[in-house]
Structure 1
């Protein structure tokens, strides 16, 4: 019988510090994009977004607790894939691990493509505010809003921008894994700094924002989408919870995925710190908008997409230098997300190959201890999916309906926590994981209720979204095919793949 794992040690080097792990987690949850166009345009009348953000954070604390406890017990490359496959079920872990991981390249590709909406808004707003026709021209003709009417030439330019960014980030990670962590951390600090700066700008404008708002509305020729009287609604506020789940608070896999590369003492608090930073950088902006502007106005103008926390902060800065700093910060958030994605996806592919689920070449390291072929697979997959919006914007945006799959995966992680808690008689882990399982299951049911009509679900009152459903089924199908082929091929080599999942992989 051949040895179960590809080799006796992973070969990866412990390069990741606490700040690297925290920034990976912050990028994973994307607070800066959540207060841009991720959540507010979909506001329900009667909802209070800062309150929803706080409630969502509290609901996800059991999941953070479960992740942290499993992370401390099994700090391995691949993170939650290892926990599910070792502690819950090997077959399920293999299938769902592949399905979950290969949702990443399409998401990062689409994020790269639609990140041009941030460039578009920054150029247009600064151009309008400072009477600079050249910037307005660039926003209207070159870096156009990808959700609008776009020519093939403009589509290709957007593709080239995203592809170039990915190639550069991939090359940095191939040349030095440590540089990949550093790039993510530097982008993270700048992105978070500018978001905090935007919070300060809005805070220092307290008391005068409502009087300045008519100028903003006039400058950008905005029309209210709703003029009906506003009143607080618990139902609407709770209805928005899945938006915050889908866009921010449930994404905890980044730090755990690179755990075997973490330096000593950097694991215990990274998820808590990442979640807390996300809580503050989402909740405070929405709280400022609530206090300084008010829900009736926010509800009326958020759906225009032009009106959001970032655009208002840029407007209120009243300084070309500050406008550009804030604008570059917003744009940086998109590249921050791409940088973390390149680091993390390669680790999942590496883990699959190390377990002999994937061909061994994807666990091969170059002389800099970088999983070079895993990165190249990421690049090839991303470049393919980056072309989808050129074919069909509506079809591409349907691929954002990954949330039901993600919640199903998190239910499995929580169940793994329950099982570990029972085996080790760790009642805190057992209770925390049980709570997490219940909460994630309830959120899954909420999203899959067709009468709720969540845009990121696979079903609504109008019927099944077959593109989104087909996408999720294809991911699970990829996992099934991968596991079946690995089972057959490895058996010929004298390896029982199922036995691999009986052991924790070495570091």
Structure 2
């Protein structure tokens, strides 16, 4: 799953501080950088059609410790990233949504609530808690999960189309703010922006692997899940960017994003620009807002589903206690509850106490401790499986290049790309693997006391 509107909303926020960046070039470079990873996961899913297939593959190829590092890194990354997604849902969707409704309905109270959602930490924490609760509630039943995912994705597509058409057909709404692209072009800024597109938009390119064992007609499902979603999301993202450049212009977008406009509506979100043409048409404003509510919620639902399945797989491999492997209504329910508890713990730290991490670092967690490990494991199988091996080699190179660009050039714009204390932000990348190593060593010791050789577990492929 790749959400185009949500995926480009954060990069466009970053772009407002990179006046020399070419948005279209950055998007296309990001798409190219993500292609090797896309093929790598496609070939992996065909080879090993199991839920949590990347964990199973790495643990059976690089050994149990590396597999546990990957799984625990992802579990911790999902838990630490959940508050980031919930906070983005508030800042990029809920807050401007209340302001938009308040302006359309001429109700200052709604505008006030929209402001308080981002200005008052208690309101912000309450809102993020509700978002987390909704995501976990929907994910607590497999039928609810897949139906909700299908309908919410459709709603997001409809809303995205409406935004594009509105910005193009009703360009006059942007006339007071229109400015053409700045004359200066910077390839460095474009390259940095491309890495942000990878980290925030293409970060869930591997989502089908989390649920691979639950797919019917796997070859067709994987082709659609990987390539069709990638192509459609890239096309929609390109359409949104072209619509913005046509309606308000790059210069106008940067000016409004950094200096504001006369409207009592946040300019930090794509939702505000997508709704501007319809401010006098309440039904269309509501439609665009409703589609916006799906932006980060869908990513959050992927987080829930993936983390619970990784916990289940670790329990099955005797790394974690067996009660985490209990399944009800097609869902590992105890794993789900544990994941919820972990997410709420990190919400307290990140949202309420303010020790937040940036969306870019959230993407770096996945890139480093999930994608790179899978790519390296794939690369060493090149003699046995040429397609998987070659895609792994190319993916390793593109991932390393993306990480280098994001960190090296990102440090020059640290206040924009990263959040708060940049060194604290980057240091959190070390937390997931530390959790993985600690979990593996404790599990190995406990199983040894019980007379069980933990490493022997990783020599066989588990049943689905």
Same fold (TM over 0.5): yes
Matched, 1:324 2:299: no
Whether contact under 8 Å (1:49, 1:237) holds in the other structure is yes
Q: Which residue of 2 aligns with 1:170?
A: 136
Distance in 2 separating the partners of 1:100 and 1:355: 16
Q: How does 1:334-483 map onto structure 2 within 5 Å? A: 334-366=296-328, 368-393=329-354, 395-397=355-357, 401-409=361-369, 410-424=371-385, 426=386, 428-449=387-408, 452-453=411-412, 455=414, 465-483=422-440
Cα distance, 1:61 vs. partner? 0.8
Distance 1:124 1:66, change over 3 A: same
Whether contact under 8 Å (1:39, 1:247) holds in the other structure is no
Whether contact under 8 Å (2:357, 2:418) holds in the other structure is no
Distance 1:289 1:347, change over 3 A: same
Whether contact under 8 Å (1:49, 1:286) holds in the other structure is yes
Cα distance, 1:63 vs. partner? 0.8
Distance in 1 separating the partners of 2:416 and 2:255: 25
Q: How does 1:207-286 map onto structure 2 within 5 Å? A: 208=172, 210-213=174-177, 230-265=183-218, 266-286=221-241
What do residues 194-224 of structure 1 show as CA deviations (whole Å, max 9, x unaligned)? 1122112112225x3552537xxxxxxxxx9
Q: Which residue of 2 aligns with 1:10?
A: none
Distance 1:443 1:456, change over 3 A: farther
Distance in 2 separating the partners of 1:496 and 1:39: 51
Cα distance, 1:178 vs. partner? 2.1
Q: Which residue of 2 aligns with 1:485?
A: 442
Distance 1:412 1:62, change over 3 A: same
**Structure 2 segments unaligned to the other structure (5+ residues):** 261-265
What do residues 246-293 of structure 1 show as CA deviations (whole Å, max 9, x unaligned)? 101132232101111111242333111221222122221112212333
Distance 1:235 1:158, change over 3 A: closer
Whether contact under 8 Å (1:47, 1:232) holds in the other structure is yes
Which has the larger displacement, 430-439 or 123-132? 123-132
Distance in 2 separating the partners of 1:158 and 1:292: 32
Whether contact under 8 Å (1:33, 1:333) holds in the other structure is yes
Q: Which residue of 1 aligns with 2:108?
A: 133
Distance 1:283 1:302, change over 3 A: farther
Distance in 1 separating the partners of 2:210 and 2:142: 14
Q: Which residue of 2 aligns with 1:15?
A: none
From 40, 43, 46, give the equivalent of 1:69. Answer: 43
Distance in 2 separating the partners of 1:451 and 1:192: 31
Distance 1:312 1:171, change over 3 A: closer
Which has the larger displacement, 308-317 or 397-406? 397-406
Aligned residue for 1:231, secondary structure, equals: coil
Distance 1:52 1:251, change over 3 A: same
Cα distance, 1:229 vs. partner? 5.2
Cα distance, 1:438 vs. partner? 1.0
Distance 1:65 1:328, change over 3 A: same
From 154, 157, 164, give the equivalent of 1:199. Answer: 164
Distance in 1 separating the partners of 2:122 and 2:326: 34
Distance in 2 separating the partners of 1:340 and 1:124: 28
Which has the larger displacement, 439-448 or 70-79? 439-448
Distance 1:489 1:447, change over 3 A: same
Cα distance, 1:87 vs. partner? 2.2
Cα distance, 1:346 vs. partner? 0.6
Distance 1:453 1:503, change over 3 A: farther
Cα distance, 1:130 vs. partner? 4.7
Distance in 2 separating the partners of 1:228 and 1:184: 37
Q: TM-score normalised to the size of structure 1?
A: 0.81
Distance 1:389 1:403, change over 3 A: closer
For these two proteins, the number of residue pairs brought into alignment is 452
From 49, 59, 67, give the equivalent of 2:23. Answer: 49
Q: Which residue of 2 aligns with 1:111?
A: 85
Whether contact under 8 Å (1:210, 1:292) holds in the other structure is yes
Distance in 1 separating the partners of 2:270 and 2:94: 15
Distance in 2 separating the partners of 1:280 and 1:487: 47
Distance in 1 separating the partners of 2:75 and 2:416: 19
What do residues 438-467 of structure 1 show as CA deviations (whole Å, max 9, x unaligned)? 11111222233277435499999x9x8443
What do residues 33-92 of structure 1 show as CA deviations (whole Å, max 9, x unaligned)? 233345334441121212211221122111100100001101112121122212233321
Q: Higher helix share goes to which structure?
A: 2
Distance 1:251 1:334, change over 3 A: closer
RMSD: 2.8
Aligned residue for 2:223, secondary structure, equals: coil
